[in-house]
Amino acid sequence: MAAVQGGLVDAVEEKDIKSEPSNDGCGNSNANDGRPPSTSPGSSASAGSNTSAAGPPEDQQTLLAVLQFLKKNKLTESVDILRREAGLPDDQSGGDSGAGSGAAAGDGNTEGGDVSSLLSRVTTASSAVAPVAPAPTKVVAEDQPDVNVVLSAYSQQGDPKLYPVYYSGLKRFIESVLDCHRAELSQVFYPLFVHMYLELVYNNHESEAKAFFDKFSGDQECYYEDDLRVLSSLSKREHMRGNETLLDFRTSKFVLRISRDSYQLLKRHLQERQNNQIWNIIQEHLYIDIFDGMPRSKSQIDAMSGSLAGEGKREANKAKVYYGLLKEPEIELPLDDEDEEAENEEGKPKKKKPKKDNMGSKSKKQDPNAPSQTRIPLPELKDSDKLDKIMYMKEATKRIRLGPDNLPSICFYSFLNAYQGLTAVDFTDDSSLIAGGYADSTVRVWSVTPKKLRRVKSAADLNLIDKESDDVLERIMDEKTSSESKILYGHGGPVYGISFSPDRNYLLSSSEDGTVRLWSLQTFTCLVGYKGHNYPVWDTHFSPHGYYFVSGGHDRVARLWATDHYQPLRIFSGHLADVTCTRFHPNSNYLATGSSDRTIRLWDVLNGNCVRIFTGHKGPIHALAFSPNGKFLASGATDSRVLLWDIGHGLMIGELKGHTDSIYSLRFSRDGEILASGSMDNTVRLWNATKAFDDLETDDFTAATGHVHLQDNSQELLLGTYLSKSTPVIHLHFTRRNLLLAAGAYNP
């Protein structure tokens, strides 16, 4: 039956994915993903390369803790792998773990409630992957030592009275250095402030911590305001245990990029003053990415900072990304159709079109940046897919060429009487269907064309029809069920993400109830519920080639799924906070995730590695869009800015300011000339993407150092601002002919 897809991919290919040897041991579908986020590819890799003295022991401690955890859950194979990879001696870990498990057995029950949800997350993650693990629900009995490891670094005791002295001493020093160094060194303030405050709180110096906070919180950059608010609410050691944000802050190193000269200056100062307190914090909790050359300016620093864990390391963005597009499959155009359509002399259209296609595919073959066609096993095209491709090409020939002088028309799809609360919208690629996800857990699908939605007949009725007839596809449909819209019931919480499959046979929805559901648009029933996140799933997105999809949620990981597997194929962990939006690269080999830790990460589907970390947003990211040529990424966040990124170089290349509220939707026009952004401020704005990308001169120096020079040219790039009638724009879509569709719920 049409409802089950899966069979297209060979089982062999499938195995390929699953047993792909992981480079890092993390983020893959085998049990290694059981590590806490602190060992995410980015941080662990760099932690290894870090020369600072404090790195290895702490790492080892963490590793041991993980090991212990794995042992406790009887994941012996994983233990072996981890031990082998980390190069831990057997005897040491054996002794350690024995003690650890003893302690766990003793303390587990009494203190189980205090255990951070960090580990519970890990447990759920691993349990979803490895069926051996206990229950997929929150496991309370976790090993106590690990949490202590996490928090232990704060146990060093300094004189609480001296903290403000230390801090203001450093402040004075930084204010007195040369201007060119000051901006760079000022970056130290925020992480230092947070860690000093947490140390005070951890050591139960409540009043000192409060005084410290009041004295210095005003000095911090305004974009840290949200974090400071969380911080200020925390005044007890007990509170720290359950606070995930702070655990993240602790377990990950705050990354700063500082020029060698500035760093030397700071180091010398601290050593002269014997300021061990601060020096220790810098050693243990900060990662200072030192580069040679000119110090960066304040604006350069501001453009890149703002995330929960500082900037991305340069190394993190060095991996090669095959951002090119895959070669389009060659499709023999059914000439008969063409003739009917074109109604021209018979010869001409026949010849022209195949030629064009050949040209196109040839040029794509030569794209050096494209991944190999088989890098990721993709489903074979079905006949219906081929027909759709043909339709697409036909439509593409009628596409309007957009530009600054030729702006798209905008059609607004208003959801009226959406009392239930519209939370997500998606259009099919051919713009024939529109679906809305609601806060009342329903999903509604509308037909935008006059063609009504029909169900397939029941099995009994299907037996009766003549399967040999030409119009069998028409006959299987039940005319009685024909209607303009259908409602899909099944979720147990608000539907936050929704995505059509490219072939229009399926619909994905992700919900607060922790599941992703796959619905058939033939029968309008739920086919699969993908369980694994166990926490609200904020977003889901189908791969442009179908079959795969990605989901991301409150558990801070993104998962790659295939429609015919009820378990995820990959788990992408590394974000320090919720994964708020997910999107596939046009070539399906990569996917981007935006998070409320204010970073964007690009992941390699093949091996689960994080290949890019983009920092610069000052608020949770809620919209992502790849340019059609795959080279660029646009992101929108609650800071009401759109940022543009060069994927190949791993650089920020543009900042589009103009919106006055959170941006919830972004879309490039079909040719990539125009970027449309929709926001809570009830506007759609069009930006000149061509200009933004063409003006770019990426010299080798910028590429090497990662220093961005952003011009403030938002106003030149803004082509138009279009108001809706009190309707927040929560989805945008360009039809194949470049008509812009916008959607939102009317809020009278």
Q: Which residues bind other proteins (CB under 8 A)?
A: 214, 229-230, 232-236, 238-239, 242-243, 406-423, 434, 436, 439, 444, 446, 448, 485, 493-494, 496, 512, 535-536, 538, 554, 578, 580, 596, 620, 622, 638, 662, 664, 680, 686, 719-720, 722, 724, 728, 730, 742-743, 746, 748
Asked whether 487 and 529 are in contact (CB, 8 A), the reply is no
The least distance separating other proteins from the CB of residue 664, rounded to whole angstroms, comes to 6
Asked whether 417 and 729 are in contact (CB, 8 A), the reply is no
Q: Which is nearer to other proteins, 461 or 661 (CB)?
A: 661
The least distance separating other proteins from the CB of residue 247, rounded to whole angstroms, comes to 13
Burial string for 85-124 (b: 16+ CB within 10 Å, else e) reads ebebeeeebeebbeebbeebeebbeebeeebbbbbbbbbb
Q: Which is nearer to other proteins, 314 or 399 (CB)?
A: 399
The 10 Å Cβ neighbour count of residue 370 is 19
Q: Which is nearer to other proteins, 496 or 645 (CB)?
A: 496
Q: Which is nearer to other proteins, 109 or 406 (CB)?
A: 406
CA 197 to CA 199: how far, in whole Å? 5
The alpha carbon of 731 is separated from its chain's Cα centroid by a whole number of angstroms, namely 18
The least distance separating other proteins from the CB of residue 740, rounded to whole angstroms, comes to 8
Burial string for 134-169 (b: 16+ CB within 10 Å, else e) reads eebeebebbbbbbbebbbebbeeebebeebbebbeb
Q: Which is nearer to other proteins, 621 or 710 (CB)?
A: 621
The least distance separating other proteins from the CB of residue 32, rounded to whole angstroms, comes to 27
Extract the runs of DSSP E, i.e. beta strands, from 467-513. 477-483, 485-488, 495-500, 506-511
Which strand (E) or helix (H) includes residue 674?
A: strand 674-679
The least distance separating other proteins from the CB of residue 682, rounded to whole angstroms, comes to 11
Q: Which is nearer to other proteins, 17 or 579 (CB)?
A: 579
The least distance separating other proteins from the CB of residue 528, rounded to whole angstroms, comes to 23
Q: Which is nearer to other proteins, 407 or 477 (CB)?
A: 407
Q: Which is nearer to other proteins, 390 or 407 (CB)?
A: 407
Asked whether 728 and 745 are in contact (CB, 8 A), the reply is yes
CA 512 to CA 496: how far, in whole Å? 7
Picking from 540, 562, 567, the residue whose alpha carbon sits closest to that of residue 31 is 567
The least distance separating other proteins from the CB of residue 410, rounded to whole angstroms, comes to 4
Strands 590-595 and 610-615: unpaired
The least distance separating other proteins from the CB of residue 652, rounded to whole angstroms, comes to 23
Task: Extract the tokens encoding 83.
Answer: 């031990």
Q: How many residues does the chain have?
A: 748
Asked whether 577 and 596 are in contact (CB, 8 A), the reply is yes
Q: Which is nearer to other proteins, 286 or 537 (CB)?
A: 537
The least distance separating other proteins from the CB of residue 135, rounded to whole angstroms, comes to 15
The least distance separating other proteins from the CB of residue 421, rounded to whole angstroms, comes to 6
Q: Rounded to the nearest 5°, which phi and psi values hold at 696?
A: -75, 125
Write down the H helix ranges in 153-204.
162-176, 179-186, 189-202
Q: Which is nearer to other proteins, 234 or 651 (CB)?
A: 234
Residue 351: strand, helix, or coil:
helix
Burial of 508 (0-12, 13-18, 19+ CB in 10 A): buried
The least distance separating other proteins from the CB of residue 385, rounded to whole angstroms, comes to 27
Picking from 403, 323, 396, the residue whose alpha carbon sits closest to that of residue 689 is 403
Q: Which is nearer to other proteins, 98 or 421 (CB)?
A: 421
Picking from 321, 304, 320, 323, the residue whose alpha carbon sits closest to that of residue 599 is 304
DSSP 16-50: HHHTPPPSSSSSSSSGGGGS-GGG-HHHHHHHHH-
CA 23 to CA 569: how far, in whole Å? 16
The least distance separating other proteins from the CB of residue 557, rounded to whole angstroms, comes to 16
Q: Which is nearer to other proteins, 427 or 547 (CB)?
A: 427
Q: Which is nearer to other proteins, 50 or 662 (CB)?
A: 662
The least distance separating other proteins from the CB of residue 427, rounded to whole angstroms, comes to 11
Task: Extract the tokens encoding 485.
Answer: 């819209």
